[in-house]
Chain A
Amino acid sequence: MKLALKIWRQNNASSPGKMVDYTVDNIEPDMSFLEMLDILNDELIVKGEDTVAFDHDCREGICGMCSLFINGEAHGPDRLVTTCQLHMRKFKDGDTIYIEPFRAKAFPVIKDLVVDRSSFDRIQQSGGFISVNTSGNTIDANTIPIPKHDADKAFDAATCIGCGACVATCKNSSAMLFVSAKVSQFSLLPQGKVEAKERVLNMVNQMDAEGFGNCTNTGACEVECPKGISLENIARMNREYLKSSLI
């Protein structure tokens, strides 16, 4: 396949960026999207030009590092996959592909397609954990009976890899799907209920402080989430926030 690429190039966080045109040839349908970018970068190195910076790590849809807004969608046109799992067979010979960084005030661009998602880390640090007593009397979590329904829901929420696709795709740049998944994965389990009130209040307040937008329930985040995190988690977070604020 021969493809025309329009890629966002930006030297650093403070410099203005712009879309730059590239062409890549001999792209195999079975290549991943990141491999296609690797080929482009190889060609740029041969030409002595600056390579395109993009985030990646595990390249098997687990780590949540890869991002990219491809042809107007977070992680591209496929569903339930990250960019590293997106294959070039989703595109046709001669296609023009727009490749942009995840856009949000809370995700500032560092260079080219790499954005700073440490706002997610700060939200996690504000309450996305369970305080564990490690004095030697810790009870094995497996000894606590948990209804399967709750365990399944908690596990589903815990599959969120924090990639930020929900923020990138939301027209409001809302982080509520991410935050609600992190709130839910703990609040559904007995170990997490102890700190549930402080957790939801602190995480939502930190989310607001980071400058994310508000959720208007378009459902776009759920569609684009590579892990299929459900909007049900946002409803649960809203309930918990209301309950924790009033009682």
Chain B
Amino acid sequence: MSNSPILKSSIAKKIAMALSGLFLVTFLSIHFFINLISVFNEDLFNTLAHFMGNNPLIQFAMQPVLILGVLFHFIMGFVLDFKNRASRPIGYAKYNGAANASWPSRNMIISGIVVLSFLGLHFYDFWIPEMVYKYVEAKPIASERYFHELAEKFHSPIRTSIYCFSFFFLFLHLWHGFNSSFQSVGMNNKYSKTLHKVGYAFAVIVPFGFIFIALFHHFNH
């Protein structure tokens, strides 16, 4: 029994979910930092966006790893949710989940689906046009175009609303997910309280920061 492959075990899957989540949090931090620059300095934002969009290491090494990370996190999330639901074939007539656990912790699959749907829109808005611009139409490099492309997307109140709605669900997902990942990898010690405060702060600052950025460009451009 002890020779069972580690990757088949429930704990290994849980740790893999946590590590992929922490990897995505790292990417999210960089994305947030660059987007925040767009509020303060158009030129610097263009420079950073141009670097991220044209550096070979980021484009051909980091970007595929990121996409694989996103795919792994979502596919594993669905797989685990399906298995967890199957572990209780007959449900309760009355189940008071709110009595002992927070809404975000009980509904990670819902917040995850909203964030996944948002990623589809986000790719449609930015990533796919960027790929077409660079690799299909092979247009010349124009490092000053990024800010205007960003601002143009937030003209629409509907798109801005969808972005803000999605960022709120990102907040719910991170509120449980970020701190949960530390527990999953086995961190529960004297530093945990401080780490949880950092986790909660991140879960609030980043999504609501994204909401601020979206609203800023909507009302200022």
Contact = CB atoms under 8 A, between A and B. Distances in A.
A108 to B, nearest CB: 10
Interface stretch (A43-51, A80-88, A196-204): A196-204
Contact of B183 (A173, A197, A204, A217): A217
B22 to A, nearest CB: 14
A220 B180 CA distance: 13
Contact of A217 (B8, B89, B96, B176): B176
Contacts of A176: 10
A172 B186 contact: no
B90 A241 contact: no
A191 B107 CA distance: 41
Contacts of B100: 73, 169, 218-220, 223-224
Contacts of A154: none
Given A206-B1, A211-B87, 11 more contacts: A104-B88, A174-B87, A208-B8, A208-B9, A214-B10, A216-B105, A218-B102, A219-B100, A238-B11, A238-B15, A245-B9
Contacts of A216: 14, 80, 84, 105, 108, 180
Given A77-B99, A216-B180, A237-B11, A105 B188 contact: no
Contacts of B92: 69, 72, 98, 100, 103
Q: Which 6 A-B pairs have the closest CB atoms?
A: A72-B96, A239-B186, A235-B188, A213-B87, A172-B84, A223-B100
Nearest to B98: A72
Nearest to B96: A72
Contact of A205 (B2, B89, B99): B2
Interface residues of A, number: 55
Chain B CB within 10 A, most for which of A105, A206, A241 = A241
B40 interface: no
9 contacts: A71-B94, A72-B99, A103-B90, A169-B100, A172-B88, A213-B86, A214-B13, A214-B84, A238-B15
Interface of B: 1-2, 4, 6, 8-15, 80, 83-84, 86-97, 99-102, 105-106, 108, 176, 180, 183-188
B9 to A, nearest CB: 6
Given A103-B92, A104-B88, A215 B14 contact: yes
A217 B184 contact: yes
Contacts of A197: 2
A221 B127 CA distance: 42
B199 to A, nearest CB: 12
